[in-house]
Amino acid sequence: MNKSFVWGLLCLALMSVHQSYAQEPTPLTCDQKAELILKYKSNFENYPKALIDEMIEYISPCALFSNPKSSYVRGLLHLYSPSTVMGHDAAFVYMSMAASNKYGPAEIDHAINYYEGNYIGKGKNYGLAQTYFNRAAVNTYKPALGKYGAGYIFMKGLNTATPFPSTTYYDAAKQLFETSNHPMAKHWLAVMYYFGYGVEKDEQRALQLLKDNDIFNSQTLLAHLPSQNNDWIQISAEELTACSKPLGHYTANARKLNKTFTGKLIEFDWYGTGVKRLIPITITFNVDNKSGDKPFTYDFTINGATVSGTGTIRRSKNFYFDDLQFSLPRFYKDHPDKSNVTYKINLLQAGESTVDGVKSLLFHTDKYKGAELVEFGEVMKAPIRMIVHEGASSPSVAASTSLRNLQTTNEPPTLRKDFAVVSPNPIGNQFTITYTLDRAAEVKIGVYNFYGQQKISVPSQKNIAGGTQTITVDSTALPSGTYVIQMIIDGMPYSKTVVKL
């Protein structure tokens, strides 16, 4: 519908209302005025600002603490025509007024606005979002939605500094989901049971919950989960300690950090109770030592894909990244066209430790800044850790779950950038790897899924002669999906990403 037509139509309606209550002995009450505007709520985003402003003027005399419905309406309208009242965002002022008066719709919308960061200058506030979802949960207005919202924030640890490990908040989420009849509460309860988040893993119960939950998200997830590996990944006790305890000192001279580190990225569940994903990584830092805060450039390689960018080292152990982003497959695929999620990390904190006999550099995501999930606009506090060590050598990330020093006494062979070719790609029930060495070397080959779990291991081949070599790999047992082929040539890792249709 043409916007100008809608504008004219609504202006006419409002004018007729003004005329009618001016002529009637009993004019419209404030609640009636609010109800009149709320009839058009679903179309506010399509209306011109001038029309929204006219509606704000119409309801303003009623928008007092004593009339929460009118205050709610005015706050809602200001979301589409921002302004300030007493130096604060008007939407926030009037929505707060209504929510403080326990007006149900305002409590729900106030929670959502805090969760999404809709108020001017306030950003996201998961703590206050949870507070108002909790209040809505005991209100008569959509308590199921309130319980779902509060449970979702508890489950994902969005309002914590991520206690490590802890199941307390999983218990709270489970209780809220179980007492809510909101379909998305049942959806995420199924996820908790399928992966064993704070509950004993029960795949059949999870799949039945999805089957009985007749919404698009659940039916899509139901089709995806049976092919989803939900096993926890084991890491060594020293690695777990390094990931969970506070970081030690970082004593290296950051001005001379022009080095390459190799190792693994460890992604835990939301509260650090288990490892979901283990992925090989390489980080190269080139530090500009002319500045006090030490600007740097970096190359970050994860699963064969490299991203580059800039950042700054501050107070020696804080690595601020301007644009460190990488994509990984979604665990909870509930939309057929959304297979990946992009992680954006602004701050890693560094420390040093010896892990499984190897002097290592540890990186922790900051417990307050976390990692942003770009597609969802969420700041995830779930612990992401990196354990790396200097040099080109790199551990396997699956068959051996602890870091090992795989360096040989010889320098690694000189290799062209694209020294290995995988054919065909997409792969079928078998594929070949053709590569060229400039001298004899030890060659190890493994095939990993995108969760860091080894699916195929090719027997290690020592003293492979220089020249061109071809290895045929049987991939019959691999289901459809994306895989990483990792080759370790005399301790130096090289990765190729392939797809099996």
| 395 falls within a domain | no
Q: HSE, CB side, 13 Å, CA atoms: give it for residue 55.
A: 35
Answer yes or no: is 379 within a domain: yes
Q: Tell how strand 260-268 and strand 384-390 pair up.
A: antiparallel
Question: The CATH number of the domain where 336 resides is what?
Answer: 2.40.128
What is the spatial distance between Cα 344 and Cα 321, in angstroms, rounded to a whole number?
9
Residues 436 and 375 both lie in one domain:
no
Same domain for 424 and 382, yes or no, is: no
Q: Are residues 47 and 137 in the same domain?
A: yes
| CA neighbor of 353 nearest in space, from 249, 244, 236 | 249
283: in domain: yes
pLDDT of residue 415: 52
User: Which pLDDT does position 436 carry in this prediction?
Assistant: 80
Q: Residue 63: which CATH number? A: 1.25.40
Q: Count CB atoms within 10 A of the CB of residue 390.
A: 15
> By the 8 A CB rule, do 83 and 90 touch?
yes
25-31: which pairs have CB atoms within 8 A and are 24 or more residues apart?
30/59, 30/61, 30/62, 30/67, 30/69, 30/70, 31/67, 31/69, 31/70
Helix (H) or strand (E) holding 477: none
The residue to which tokens 């049971």 are assigned: 193
Do residues 391 and 407 lie in contact, with contact meaning Cβ atoms separated by under 8 Å? yes
| Residue at which a domain ends, from 174, 205, 227 | 227
Q: How would DSSP label each residue in 376-427? A: TTEEE-S-EEEEEEESS----SSSS-S------SSPPPP--TT-EEEESSSB
**355 and 426: one domain?**
no
Same domain, 170 and 310: no
User: Across the chain, how many H-helices and E-strands are there?
Assistant: 13, 19
* β-bridge pairing 358-365 and 384-390: antiparallel
From first to last of its 501 residues, the chain has per-residue pLDDT tens of: 445 445 545 554 554 554 444 455 578 999 999 999 999 999 999 999 999 999 999 999 999 999 999 999 999 999 999 999 888 999 999 999 999 999 999 999 999 999 999 999 998 999 999 999 999 999 999 999 999 999 999 999 998 877 777 778 999 999 999 999 999 999 999 999 999 999 999 999 999 999 999 999 999 999 988 877 788 888 888 888 899 888 877 776 666 788 899 999 999 999 988 888 888 899 999 988 766 788 999 999 987 789 999 999 988 789 999 989 999 888 888 888 888 899 999 999 999 888 988 889 999 998 888 899 999 889 988 889 999 988 754 434 433 222 222 223 344 455 554 567 888 888 889 999 888 877 788 888 888 876 667 788 888 777 677 778 888 999 998 887 778 787 877 766 677 778 787
SS3 category, 373: strand
Q: How far apart are CA 184 and CA 189, in angstroms?
A: 8
Q: Does residue 301 sit in the same domain as residue 366?
A: yes
Residue 407 in any domain: the answer is no
CATH for 447: 2.60.40.2550
Q: What is the C-alpha to C-alpha distance for residues 111 and 339, in angstroms, rounded to an integer? A: 28
Domain identity same for 39 and 125: yes
Contact criterion met (CB below 8 Å) for 314 and 321: no
- Whose structure tokens read 């690695």? 239
C-alpha distance from residue 57 to each of 61, 66, 78, 159 (Å): 8, 18, 11, 37
Q: 12 and 131 share a domain?
A: yes
Let me know if residue 147 belongs to a domain. no
Task: Please identify, among 180, 202, 227, the residue that sits at the C-terminal boundary of a domain.
Answer: 227
Check whether residue 259 and residue 221 sit in a common domain: no
Please tell me what DSSP assigns to residue 367. T
Can you tell me whether residue 432 is helix, strand or coil? strand
Tokens of 102: 């326990």
- Verify that 213 and 317 share a domain, yes or no: no
Cβ atoms of residues 210 and 221 within 8 Å: yes
Which residue, of 91, 110, 141, is where some domain finishes?
Answer: 141
Largest CA distance in the chain: 102
382 shares its domain with 248: yes
Q: Residue 12's domain spans which residues?
A: 3-141
Residue 399 inside a domain? The answer is no
Q: Is residue 415 part of a domain?
A: no
476 burial type by CB count under 10 A (0-12 exposed, 13-18 middle, 19+ buried): exposed
Q: Strand locations in 242-383, DSSP E?
A: 260-268, 275-287, 295-302, 305-314, 318-329, 340-355, 358-365, 371-373, 378-380
Cα–Cα distance, 325 to 345 (Å, whole number): 6
In a domain, 411, yes or no: no
- Number of structural domains found in the chain: 4
- Co-location of 24 and 107 in the same domain: yes
